[in-house]
Amino acid sequence: MNDIFLRACRGEEVPYTPVWIMRQAGRYLPEYQRVREEAGGFLKLCKTPELAAEVTTQPVDVLGVDAAILFSDILIPVEAMGMHLEFSEDKGPVLHDPIRTKSAVDRLVVPDTEDSMPFVVDTIKILRKRLAVPLIGFSGAPFTLATYMIEGKGSKDFVNTKRLMFQNPGIFSLLMEKITMTVVSYLSAQIRAGAQAVQLFDTWAGVLSPLDYRNFAQPYLRSAVAELRKEGVPIIYFVNDCGGLLGDIKKCGADVIGVDWRTDLRDAIKKIGKKCAVQGNLDPLALFLPKDEIEDRVKEILWKGEFARGHIFNLGHGIHKETPVDKVVSLVEAVHRFSER
Ligand code: CP3
């Protein structure tokens, strides 16, 4: 078993810098497209353990990455909390009847993962028998899940989320508490089933000012991380557009901090300090550069990563669906070659 990724998460010595890619199982891979077609759509794919396991392993086989990430979506537990979820081809996820009132929050349940999302547990069990690299489980972080539940879809300004936060902080906090309980129980179930590390995706926390992050997102995230620490696996926390929040983010209790590409990795490490490892941070669209220029950027990121407690190479956010696969293959190979100790 290649455990280099887990060792880097813990800040231990590694023979080379491990690499995986956010959204590594996805539409840029023709192999993925085929299985998605066979499943009859994205949500069906998430809920069919044999096929979800197959697309989870594809990037390990095709790219040679050092970790696999469970194939699912951050909105799966939101559906289990009682919302009606749909993925439309052009608009992305849609959650019907967005949460704006106390009675809507009261109607939400804290789901039992084994009962209401058995396919997640089953997918993980299949994968642990099959994989020769560690398996990462994941969840949306409370704030990011709340944005989808309150907006009902993706948003640019998050006006409904911030309006609820500022005008009805009591309702907002009841919602966040329910989501936090769900996240803890969902990730604990993934770990019990065999996930060897977990990542919390806080994709939209970067839209908050540091003050609002500290008041409306961080307390819930910290309490989730504190609970999950008891499970004993590395915890990765990723915020897209994290630059202005790193001073607060480093106090979240996670083992690894994900860094997007807008912040220089050396500067990020100076702010994060030596207590956490880092993960990142190539611009996903840099994969459209010529190969030699990608390699220059890889070398620079690897060099900067040396200053951290540990470094896991990744993109600064999810891979774009139009990315040429051969560039991704050579990226992974370059990370391994240039970082060999
Ligand atoms: O990383 C992986 O390979 C594992 C699978 C994974 C998916 N979504 C599969 C997916 C993970 C970890 C996620 C997380 C996720 N989902 C996040 C957080 C990370 C991030 O990218 O910011 C968010 C915000 C979502 C919600 C979501 N799911 C959106 C906004 C969309 C539409 C955008 C898009 O890329 O289409 C999805 C759909 C989605 N999730 C796809 C995949 C492979 C594409 C669906 C398809 O095949 O049509």
Residue of the nearest CA to atom 40 in ligand 1?
73
- Cα separation, 38 vs 318, whole angstroms: 24
Block residue for tokens 């993706």: 154
Q: From 55, 73, 94, give the residue whose CB has the most ligand 1 atoms within 8 Å, as the site to mutate.
A: 73
Fold of domain 4-339: TIM Barrel (3.20.20)
- State if residue 55 touches ligand 1 by the CB under 6 angstroms criterion: no
pLDDT recorded at residue 88: 86
Residue of the nearest CA to atom 32 in ligand 1?
92
Block residue for tokens 């060999």: 340
- State if residue 71 touches ligand 1 by the CB under 6 angstroms criterion: yes
- State if residue 93 touches ligand 1 by the CB under 6 angstroms criterion: yes
Percent of the chain with pLDDT over 90: 99
Question: Half-sphere exposure (CA, 13 Å, Cβ side) for 7?
Answer: 13
Q: Mind listing the pLDDT tens digit for each residue in 324-339?
A: 999 999 999 999 999 9
144 and 204 in contact (C-beta within 8 Å)? yes
Separation of 36 CA from ligand 1 center, angstroms?
A: 13
For residue 248, the one-letter residue type is: D
> Which two structure tokens, joined as six digits, stand for 162?
């911030």
Per-residue CA distances from 308 to 17, 19, 135, 223 (Å) = 12, 15, 23, 25
Cα–Cα–Cα angle for 322, 39, 53, nearest 5°?
Answer: 80
Separation of 319 CA from ligand 1 center, angstroms?
A: 10
pLDDT recorded at residue 90: 83
Q: Mind listing the pLDDT tens digit for each residue in 279-295?
A: 999 999 999 999 999 99
Q: Mind listing the pLDDT tens digit for each residue in 231-263?
A: 999 999 999 999 999 999 999 999 999 999 999
Work out the number of other CB atoms within 10 angstroms of the CB of residue 165: 23
- Cα separation, 250 vs 242, whole angstroms: 11
Which stretches does DSSP call E strand in the chain?
Answer: 68-69, 85-88, 92-95, 135-140, 197-202, 235-239, 256-258, 277-282, 311-315
- Cα separation, 330 vs 137, whole angstroms: 26
Separation of 148 CA from ligand 1 center, angstroms?
A: 13
Average pLDDT, the chain: 98
Cα dihedral: 273, 279, 282, 284 (round 10) = -140
Q: Mind listing the pLDDT tens digit for each residue in 126-150?
A: 999 999 999 999 999 999 999 999 9
Separation of 93 CA from ligand 1 center, angstroms?
A: 9
Q: Mind listing the pLDDT tens digit for each residue in 178-195?
A: 999 999 999 999 999 999
pLDDT recorded at residue 22: 98
> Band of the pLDDT at 316, cuts 50, 70, 90?
very high
Question: Half-sphere exposure (CA, 13 Å, Cβ side) for 25?
Answer: 25
With a cut of 90, say whether residue 89 has pLDDT above it: no
Q: Mind listing the pLDDT tens digit for each residue in 263-282?
A: 999 999 999 999 999 999 99
135 and 68 in contact (C-beta within 8 Å)? yes
- State if residue 141 touches ligand 1 by the CB under 6 angstroms criterion: no
Residue of the nearest CA to atom 11 in ligand 1?
73
Residue of the nearest CA to atom 24 in ligand 1?
203
166 and 92 in contact (C-beta within 8 Å)? no
- List the chain domain ranges: 4-339
The catalytic residues are 23, 27, 36, 73, 148
- State if residue 74 touches ligand 1 by the CB under 6 angstroms criterion: yes
pTM over 0.85: yes
- State if residue 24 touches ligand 1 by the CB under 6 angstroms criterion: yes
pLDDT recorded at residue 338: 98
196-215: average pLDDT: 98
- Cα separation, 117 vs 111, whole angstroms: 8
Percent of the chain with pLDDT over 70: 100
- State if residue 26 touches ligand 1 by the CB under 6 angstroms criterion: yes
Q: Mind listing the pLDDT tens digit for each residue in 24-55?
A: 999 999 999 999 999 999 999 999 999 999 99
Q: From 19, 20, 21, 23, give the residue whose CB has the most ligand 1 atoms within 8 Å, as the site to mutate.
A: 23
- State if residue 64 touches ligand 1 by the CB under 6 angstroms criterion: no
The one-character DSSP state at 58 is H
The candidate with the shortest Cα–Cα distance to 137, out of 249, 220, 235, 60, is 235
